[in-house]
Amino acid sequence: MSSLNGDGATPQQPRIGVLALQGDFAEHIHMLSEIGITAVEVRKVQQLSEIDGMIIPGGESTTIVKLLGMFDFVDELRSQVESGMALWGTCAGMIVIARELADPYPTPLNLLDIRVARNYFGRQVDSFESELEIDGVEGDHMRAVFIRAPIVIDTGIGVEILARVPAIDDRPEQAVAVKKGRVLATSFHPELTRDTRMHSLFVELAEEARSDSVRRSTEETRSIV
């Protein structure tokens, strides 16, 4: 999860931020602290160049998209992801980073090649939990919390489906966790459980970004310019 610094002695953590403009960012920060990661609350676009990975939390997707635009995050966030920064969208965050929605709003940021349907399982009162088997996560099935959750209805080339929620009543099995490169998206809320394995998986992606020499050289060039 971590590596050694230049003198070969002191472990260095990947630098992880949680978008703190709206939503349940505090819960993600707590979960990361449970696995020894001190995350930062991201409220300014300048912070994006200081982190290796960022989580966009659950909340209200339309509000999050509006705030990202209002505070000039969109272009810089896209640039950072293209240069190799790790990104994880949970629930509303999945909607925000999708390529396209089956719904008229909001306009997603097209950071992951997926088509998403919002509120697929219904309203808040229709929230539920399910046991999921997740590729890349060892051990028992993960207890997943779904609250007004989206689902992935289409994936682009190279997007891996990591988990599907089993068929429920008249609804078929649906994709609820996907990944391409260092970009991860989940329909459910791992931060609302005590299971830290999804957060550990994301830390591994951020660690890859931290030790990516190509990304480091890109950041150094951008800072000079």
CB contact at 8 A, 111 and 121: no
> Catalytic positions, please?
91, 189, 191
How many domains are there within the chain? 1
CB contact at 8 A, 30 and 191: yes
CATH number, domain containing residue 132: 3.40.50.880
Residue ranges making up the domain that contains 155? 3-224
pLDDT tens-digit map of 24-78 = 999 999 999 999 999 999 999 999 999 999 999 999 999 999 999 999 999 999 9
Question: Using H for helix, E for strand and C for coil, what is the string for 142-194?
Answer: EEEEECCCCEEEEECCCCEEEEEECCECCECCEEEEEEECCEEEECCCHHHCC
pLDDT tens-digit map of 113-160 = 999 999 887 666 567 888 999 998 999 999 999 998 999 999 999 999
Name the pTM for this structure: 0.90
Highest mean pLDDT among 114-128, 167-181, 192-206: 192-206
Q: What is the mean pLDDT of residues 181-188?
A: 97
